[in-house]
Amino acid sequence: MWDYTDKVMEHFLNPRNVGEVKDPDGTATVGNISCGDALKLTFKLDDEGRIADVKFQTFGCGSAIASSSVLTEMVKGLTLEEAKEITNKDIVDELGGLPDAKIHCSVMGMEALQAAIANFRGEEFVEHDHEHDDEDSKGNVICHCFGVTDTKIRRVAKENELHTIDEITNYTKAGGACGRCKEDIQEILDGIWNVETPNTETKEKPAALTFAQKVMKVHTVIDNDIRPILERDGGSIELVDLRDNCVIVRLKGRCAACPNSKLTLRNSVEAKLKELVSEDLFVEEVK
C-alpha cells in the first residue's frame, strides 16, 4: 500500500480544475493511455499575459490526478516564463511528497505544462539536453514500452541526481515493463556519472540450489522484485506452482488483460527470475 500524504489524498478525492478550457491559448497531451498514464493540459491567458484559467484531464492513478490538480493551482496567475520554471520537484514538494514509484506522475505534469507553453508559442516541444544541441537533440527511444528517449533519461537523471535503474523507472517508467532497455539505461547512467563497467568475467557461478531453496528464492524475487513493478500500473502476479524448473504464475489486474502480457512474462518476469534465481527457469501462465 502506498503511503500518501493528506494533500495528495485531498487533491485525488477533490481534484481542482478538471476539464478542458474553451478556446485555449495553449494545449498539450503527454503520456500514453495504453501505457497507463496520459495527461491533457489547457490554459488561457488574461490581457496581461498571465494564466487566468487552466484545466486538466488525466487518465492514470491517484498520484497522476493529484499531481495534475495541484499543478493547475500552482500556475494560476503566473506568467508563462514563471510557469515554465516549475519543476517536478516543485510539484512533489507542494504535495508534501510522493512515493518513489510515483514520482513519474510529477514529471508528466511538468512536461505537460512545458509542452502547452511551447504550443502557445508555436514551438515544437523538445526535451532539452544541454549536451546535445544538434539535430539529434530529440534523442533516440530507449524504452519502447513507454516511449522514453535517451535525452529524457539524461535530463531527468541529472536534474534529480539519479544513479540507479530503479530510480530512472520511478521517474520515467523506463525499464518498468519488458525490461529489455535496462542495459541501455545503465550504460547511459554510467556515461553520466563516469562509472566503470565491472568485469563480469570474474563473477563466480552461483552454487546450485536445492528445490526448497529454489522455491523460497522464487517467492522472494516475485514478492520483492517483480510484483512491485507490475503494481505500478495496476497489475499484479501470483505464484501458482513450481515444477522442477517451470515457474507457473497467474497474472492479475491490468496485466491479465494486457495484449503485451506474453512479452511481460518472457522479458520481465522470466528474465528477472533467470537473473536472480537460476538460468534454467522458465515461466508458464495459467488463467
pLDDT score, position 50: 97
**What's the chain's length in residues?**
287
Listed range (16-20, 26-30, 96-100, 257-261) with the worst mean pLDDT = 257-261
pLDDT at residue 206, as a whole number:
56
The pLDDT of residue 228 is 86
Residue 255 is a catalytic residue: no
What are the angstrom distances between the C-alpha of 126 and each of 133, 137, 145, 179, 203? 11, 8, 20, 25, 41
218, 239 contact by CB (below 8 A): yes
Average pLDDT over residues 108-114: 93
Count Cβ atoms within 10 A of the Cβ of residue 250 and give its class: 0-12 exposed, 13-18 middle, 19 or more buried. middle
The partner residues of 79 in beta bridges, in order of sequence, read: 50
Are the CB atoms for 157 and 191 separated by under 8 Å? no
Please give the helix or strand (H or E) that residue 2 lies within, else none. none
* 83 CB-contact burial (10 Å; exposed 0-12 / middle 13-18 / buried 19+): buried
pLDDT for the residue 131:
39
Q: How far apart are CA 29 and CA 136, in angstroms?
A: 23
| Per-residue pLDDT, 25 | 97
The residue ranking higher by pLDDT, 259 or 182, is 182
* Active site annotation includes 61: no
Question: What's the confidence (pLDDT) of residue 257?
Answer: 80
pLDDT at 129: 39
pLDDT tens-digit readout, 117-168 = 999 999 877 654 333 333 334 578 888 777 788 888 998 999 889 999 999 9
Report whether pLDDT(8) > 90. yes
pTM for this model (two decimals): 0.59
Residue 198 has a pLDDT of: 54
Q: Are 65 and 12 in contact (CB under 8 A)?
A: yes
- Mean pLDDT of the 34-56 span: 91
**What pLDDT is recorded for position 207?**
63
> When comparing pLDDT for 126 and 267, which is higher?
267
Domains of the chain: 6-120 (3.90.1010.10), 141-193 (1.10.10.1100), 204-285 (3.30.300.130)
pLDDT at 33: 63
Average pLDDT along the chain: 85
Assign 102 to helix, strand or coil: helix
Quote the percentage of the chain above a pLDDT of 90: 46
Residue with the bigger pLDDT between 254 and 22: it is 22
Pick from 36-45, 85-94, 156-165, 190-199: least confident: 190-199
Mean pLDDT along residues 22-27: 96
For the ranges 24-28, 173-177, 191-195, 214-218, the maximum mean pLDDT occurs at: 24-28
Exposure of 86 in the CB half-sphere (CA atoms within 13 A):
31
**pLDDT at residue 120, as a whole number:** 96
CA 94 to centroid of chain Cα atoms: 20
pLDDT of 16 > 90? The answer is yes
**pLDDT tens, position by position, 200-226:** 454 455 567 787 888 888 988 998 888
